[in-house]
Structure 1
Amino acid sequence: MPEYALSDKDVAQVAPLLAELAKTHDTIEDDTLIRRARVLARSFPVGLVEFLEEYRLSEPSAVCVVSGLPMEEELLGPTPEHWRDSQYGSPAFTQEIFFLLCASVLGDVFGWATQQDGRIMHDVLPIKGHENYEIGSNSLQHLSWHTEDAFHPCRGDYVALMCLKNPDAVATMICDAADLDWSSLDVAALFEPEFTQMPDNSHQPQNARQSTGDPVVDRLRIRSFELIQSWNDDPVKRPILFGDNVDPYMALDPYHMKTEGWSERSLRAFEALCAQIEAKMRDVRLRPGDLVFVDNFRAVHGRRSFQARYDGSDRWLKRLNITRNLRGSRGWRPAADNRVIY
């Protein structure tokens, strides 16, 4: 797994820029900050930008890590009880800016109207009452491995995580497609559009506010929830594999896939692929100050279960979705420069 460890010189180089941006913006959701992110990242250390560019262009691994970002837990304060409590006055604002700029080297960050009220940067933390839900805010059960937003044609190329706290060393589970023996699998069957990918629970309306206060946004969001419900009622069949036949990309989320009506060949191919993924899954334990970028075309990921304490000390990550083709989702966004998919 390629890793770029920030040196003291790197940290000293980026610190003034991050401090200045934190003074001139009040939230990571600021449209101007997000729009400028790619240009601002050009001021980052050359070695860091080259590392991320190599990961983007050459695909040396499905996962890469940037480590060494200073993270002082006493300055972070308690882990919020809910993601709704974390947008303004963030104690990790300078780190969030660093994360945003790194992500922007790989592509364009974007959000979902149906997730965390359309925010671009998400909080990943345990929420009381979600312990046994199949959703990222659970804790007592594993978060099943999956392609991020596998059901949606506008899913991102990368999902990125920044660790603020992980006192129990809770493991993120990752399987790299390069570790699979494709020659032993029925690749041709997996390329056929015979598999149903259902919307995952994080896009359901019960996990969102009833209203954002903006009637236009609320109408668009209701339309999105209705579309997702239609996909639940009448699932669209899609392939699991795409791209190159020898070194394929993949998109699957077994927990949210219904196998009823699949042909025997499709089912066997799917089960054989899942068995290999299970066997090749590895644990990545993020430390405070770690940024991990997961190629959403070449890896699946999940999370081990843990016991949440809800005392302000629990695991707390930030998450970004990144696309290399923002135009590909233009039909889902209300304006060319809008980053939220409806």
Structure 2
Amino acid sequence: MSNLTTTAYTLSADEAAATEDLSLELARAYPSFGDPVLLRDLPRLAARLPLGVQHFLREFQLADRDGHAVIRGHRFDQERIGATPEHWRGRGRPGPEFPEELVLMLYAALLGEPFGWATQQDGHLVHDIFPIRQHENDQLGMGSKELLTWHTEDAFHPYRSDYLILGALRNPDHVPTTVGELDLSSLSAEDLGILFEPRFHIAPDESHLPKNNTIASEEEAARFATIQKMIDERPLGPLLYGSRLDPYMRLDPYFTSVPEDDPDAQRAYDALFKVVDAGMREVVADEGDVLFIDNHRAVHGRLPFTARYDGTDRWLKRVCVTADLRRSREMRASSASRLLG
């Protein structure tokens, strides 16, 4: 495991109370994330968060150095939130945890713009992450028994998140999230050059497939056309990008393939995998913790655990954040839409 340190901010009792009060106030003032006024107002509302938190996230963003950070000490009301659900389908929106979702969306507004996927969890902007029995062996956030292989979130997609926010509503078993960053010292100059070239294919992960979403019309089925095109055409791309001295990465080993006639690319990929895998570390997001992942600088996964399916299991909320919403305009139904697909 790596000696990578976690950049962290712990809310004071007053800051935690003020954040909770703000989230409850907004949950009364706005009906849901389907309200365009709420999405318009998010940056203004985020300015009401404690100044210490605002400065912490601004520094995390501008420094462009750390792959992850944590804000600890939120007061997430367990009685109001209720039991961990059995499935994300069929749940009323907003649910009783709407205030906690609002906290994550306010944080998203400090880093950029929250967005979602028409091809993921039926287009909800805030995703649920908890174990689902029929997915316990799958490479999904809903899995449990199998190791969730480390990855860049939506690594296959050109408009993937700049940041990922994971808020722990509960984690009684202290299930670790795994986090890894890139150490260039073990990569040769030749391999580094190859990794910047478009010689690798990353397939869409299964959370974006029709079988893991609800499709009730031709219009909903059409949302998956772009995903299917990526599967069929198998476009090649680089695994590293940005500065050659301090690269960003997009990695998803479980869904990555290298052309059989390109042994040099395979060698470079194997070397990169070993470097990142050797540097993985465990970060436990316990109840009241919010984990921020820079999706350019860090990969993340999850260790296996035994789910109980009794309403007490680990329950996280996930929000995707982009620094530039306009760059995905071609894949959104309108300029007002936050859903890609």
TM-score per shorter chain, which class?
Answer: over 0.9
CA distance in 1, matches of 2:292, 2:21: 25
**SS at 1:55 equivalent:** helix
Change (3 A) 1:70 1:223: same
Contact 1:194 1:262 in 2 (8 A): no
- Asked whether 1:175 is paired with 2:180, we answer yes
Contact 2:199 2:259 in 1 (8 A): no
CA distance in 2, matches of 1:163, 1:262: 44
Residue 12 of structure 1 and its aligned partner are, at CA, apart by 3.4
Which of 32, 37, 44 aligns to 2:42? It is: 37
Q: Which residue of 2 aligns with 1:325?
A: 324
100-109 vs 69-78, which deviates more? Answer: 69-78
144-153 vs 67-76, which deviates more? Answer: 67-76
Tell me which stretches of 4 or more aligned residues in structure 1 moved more than 6 Å.
none
Q: Any idea what the Cα deviations from partners look like across 1:229-274, whole Å, max 9, x if unmatched?
A: 2221220000001000010001111111122435111100000000
CA distance in 1, matches of 2:92, 2:35: 11
- Asked whether 1:75 is paired with 2:64, we answer no
Contact 1:55 1:61 in 2 (8 A): yes
Letter in 2 for 1:94: P
Contact 2:187 2:272 in 1 (8 A): no
TM-score where L is the length of structure 1: 0.94
Q: Which residue of 2 aligns with 1:316?
A: 315
Unaligned 5+ runs, structure 2: 1-5
Residue 26 of structure 1 and its aligned partner are, at CA, apart by 3.1
Contact 1:124 1:316 in 2 (8 A): yes
CA distance in 1, matches of 2:255, 2:99: 36
Letter in 1 for 2:248: Y
TM-score where L is the length of structure 2: 0.94
Letter in 2 for 1:181: S
**SS at 2:165 equivalent:** strand
Q: Which residue of 1 aligns with 2:252?
A: 253
Contact 2:114 2:322 in 1 (8 A): yes
CA distance in 2, matches of 1:309, 1:265: 45
Q: Which residue of 2 aligns with 1:162?
A: 167
Q: Which residue of 1 aligns with 2:206?
A: 201
CA distance in 2, matches of 1:75, 1:4: 25
Q: Which residue of 2 aligns with 1:298?
A: 297
Structure 2 counterparts to residues 77-226 of structure 1, below 5 A: 77-177=82-182, 179-181=183-185, 183-184=187-188, 186-211=191-216, 219=219, 221-226=220-225
Q: Which residue of 1 aligns with 2:339?
A: 340
Letter in 1 for 2:307: A
Letter in 2 for 1:312: G
Contact 2:68 2:293 in 1 (8 A): yes
Q: Which residue of 1 aligns with 2:64?
A: 59
- Alignment coverage as a number of residue pairs: 335
Q: Any idea what the Cα deviations from partners look like across 1:84-117, whole Å, max 9, x if unmatched?
A: 2444252222221111101110000000000011
CA distance in 2, matches of 1:326, 1:35: 13
Unaligned 5+ runs, structure 1: none
Contact 1:124 1:319 in 2 (8 A): yes
Residue 183 of structure 1 and its aligned partner are, at CA, apart by 4.8
Residue 29 of structure 1 and its aligned partner are, at CA, apart by 4.3
CA distance in 1, matches of 2:294, 2:153: 10
CA distance in 2, matches of 1:90, 1:224: 25
Residue 226 of structure 1 and its aligned partner are, at CA, apart by 2.1
Contact 1:180 1:280 in 2 (8 A): no
Letter in 2 for 1:78: A
CA distance in 2, matches of 1:294, 1:180: 20
Letter in 2 for 1:230: K
Change (3 A) 1:337 1:182: farther
Q: Any idea what the Cα deviations from partners look like across 1:1-53, whole Å, max 9, x if unmatched?
A: 21111112212333443222111223344332222111111111111101111
Contact 2:43 2:106 in 1 (8 A): yes
* CA root-mean-square deviation: 1.6
